[in-house]
Structure 1
Amino acid sequence: MRVRSLNANVCIFLFLSTVYRCRGSLGDKSWVYNECLSSCLSLSQCDSDAPRRPNEWTLSLMRWTCDDDCRYDCMHQVTADNIRYGRPVVQFYGKWPFVRVLGAQEIASAVFSAANGLAALVCLRDYRRRVSRRYKLYWLWHVNSAVSVHAWFWSTVFHCRDWPLSEHMDYFCATSLTVVQMFCQQVRIWGGRSPFRSWKMIALGLFDGLVFAGHVSYMSFVSFDYGYNLAFNISLGVMMAATWMIWCYQNYQERPYVWKCCLFLVLLSAAMALEINDFPPWWGLFDAHSLWHLATVPLTFLWYSFLVDDGVYECRDKFS
């Protein structure tokens, strides 16, 4: 969710950087951390289902158990020692040592994820105001917006607290958005005048649904494989970007707004540099991934601006 050869290079580097992050974490494997954790669990006499600090309502609300709290405290003790003695900041359990705020693990990514969902709603409101309801794709882009808001909701939940459920929903909802966007593209480019009466479009929709169902089934029942999930989504993203670029090339003379689609794809690829160049969070809050989520907020407005112009252009003669 990428342009010509640049897209391939970006995706390769993103894949390698993600594999590196998931390969293992030095922090939780260190002797100092594990000694601290063992001592904390023993002194706190942890019941894993009970909070360690019951008086802090935000921790109870976010379901920080005694075990979780010990891991958090020891993570930051080790991190403080690393900084004090000039050692690099390392990850723990595949994540940077973020400072929790109001019980949220990654408050910046959570806030920026919510901002993306809000941006989709604001843009949909503008779309509804400016594009005719008789436009053949009017309701399909509503479906796309609904799936987008749903995906960003689970991204917000996941960044607030990393539970198995929130992790699975974040991954699956992100993939659902990719698949729905792919179907929207197929209908827009190849759907003809009556796309929802076309057997070709119905078959494509069923195929896309089966692809998504197969992906979720594999991740759920065979292997929750981060590398496979990334490769799957990147493959769909590259195909969509290439298809949009071809469509833009074929239509740029007739449709003066096509530059918005091209600019969106280029800027989205450029924003991926934030994911590639991962770094420890500034002030314990802002890492590369959170800034990636921040960067996609204005891109949402650019994309919907293209959709509005496209809808208005398609309706200019038919419903004027």
Structure 2
Amino acid sequence: MTGGKLFFLSSITLLLVASWIQCASASSGDLHPHYRTCLNNCITIDCNQNPSQNGMLPWYLRLFFWDCGSDCRYECQIDAEHYFAVNGIPSQQYFGKWYFIRIFGIQEFFSVLFSLFNLIVHYNGYQRMRRCIPDSHHSKSLCLKWALIGMNAWVWSSVFHTRDTPFTEKLDYFSAGAFVLFGLYTSLVLMFKLDLKRGGRIATTILGALFLIAFIAHVSYLSFYTFDYGYNMKANLSVGLLSNILWYYYSWSHRNIGLSWTKVPALSVTALMLSASLELFDFSPIANLVDAHALWHLATVPITYYIYGFVIKSSLYDLNGTSPKVKSMYGKD
């Protein structure tokens, strides 16, 4: 079994197991006395004294596993936000998140929508690579696995933003981590053509095993010791930055061969870093619907499309030694 297959299969299994471990966090909004009083009254009166309340919720709320307690938390956020507005207090976060208007049971509608856009563009890229990259290319299967892990990450991003629970949060965070780490593994194999060197199969397997061990350690620490949001962010940023440096090097090392698409990696990682910087300018959601995180998800959609175009062109160049002209269902890559 190659390192790519080992990492792919093992990481998916680990994601499902570790995501059952619970975690919780608190913020200024859910600690405010007004919110706490509202929540205690709602749970005591509406939930504890009326056990049938869960069945009285609209079907679209029950579809996304809202119950009386979670609905109380949402309704009390509305009440608290009204209280804050009347008293000139800025909007607050609750359990680490801003208040969003719930739409048909979906907590963060536009984050879900933009996550689905990313899922679509990864699926489209997967199909383009299957169609355009010849089976004879040494890393075609690795690129397809990268696309599958990307699709998995955006599926769980959509689920998490639809309904925020400890389980969906962990699957979102860990799937994103797997995607970033597998992206670095893929970058190393593709850029240095490790699978073509003497003993390449053994080298890629060992590298994949090392990456898998690092992923297991990362997930285990967050699951069984403490769910440290700051550490998780720093770990993903560090791995992502290393991948970005490699792709800057790729564009720089190919600067003299006269092919415009070799600039795509440098331009793409620059655009990705700029889009990720939206997270640094966190603000309360516009109209309680669109926040910086949702805009970041939207920004990655066109960038990802061009990355897939680059992967296809570079793969064909590996085989043919000439600048390829590739057509997709949306025109030229």
Query: Structure 1 length normalisation: TM-score?
Result: 0.87
Q: Does the CA contact (< 8 Å) of 1:100 and 1:107 recur in 2?
A: yes
Listed as ranges, the matches of 1:40-119 within 5 Å are 40-46=42-48, 51-52=53-54, 54-119=56-121
Gaps of 5+ in 2: 1-23, 325-333
Cα distance change on mapping 1:255 and 1:152 into 2, 3 Å: farther
Q: Give the CA deviation at 1:201.
A: 2.1
Name the CA distance, whole Å, in 2 between partners of 1:69 and 1:284: 17
Match of 2:156 in 1: 154
Greater relative CO (CA pairs within 8 A, separation 6+): 1
Name the CA distance, whole Å, in 2 between partners of 1:295 and 1:88: 27
Matched, 1:188 2:190: yes
Q: Deviations over 1:121-146 (max 9, x none)?
A: 11222222222121111111100011
One-letter code of the match for 1:299? Answer: I
Q: Give the CA deviation at 1:193.
A: 6.1
Match of 2:228 in 1: 225
Same amino acid, percent of matched pairs: 31
Cα distance change on mapping 1:210 and 1:302 into 2, 3 Å: same
Cα distance change on mapping 1:31 and 1:153 into 2, 3 Å: same
Match of 2:281 in 1: 277
3-state SS in 2 of match to 1:232: helix
One-letter code of the match for 1:187? Answer: V
Cα distance change on mapping 1:230 and 1:264 into 2, 3 Å: same
User: Would you say how many aligned residue pairs link Structure 1 and Structure 2?
Assistant: 298
Gaps of 5+ in 1: 1-21
Match of 2:315 in 1: 311
Name the CA distance, whole Å, in 1 between partners of 2:61 and 2:122: 30
Cα distance change on mapping 1:52 and 1:189 into 2, 3 Å: same
Q: Does the CA contact (< 8 Å) of 2:47 and 2:53 recur in 1?
A: no
Q: Deviations over 1:276-305 (max 9, x none)?
A: 101111121101101111111111101111
One-letter code of the match for 1:189? Answer: M
Counterpart pick for 2:206 among 197, 203, 207 = 203
Q: Deviations over 1:256-278 (max 9, x none)?
A: 11111111011111112211101
Match of 2:300 in 1: 296
**Quick check: 244-253 or 137-146, which moved more?**
244-253
Name the CA distance, whole Å, in 1 between partners of 2:181 and 2:230: 18
Q: Does the CA contact (< 8 Å) of 1:117 and 1:152 recur in 2?
A: yes
Match of 2:29 in 1: 27
Name the CA distance, whole Å, in 2 between partners of 1:122 and 1:246: 27
Match of 2:142 in 1: 140
Q: Give the CA deviation at 1:147.
A: 0.6
One-letter code of the match for 1:84? Answer: V
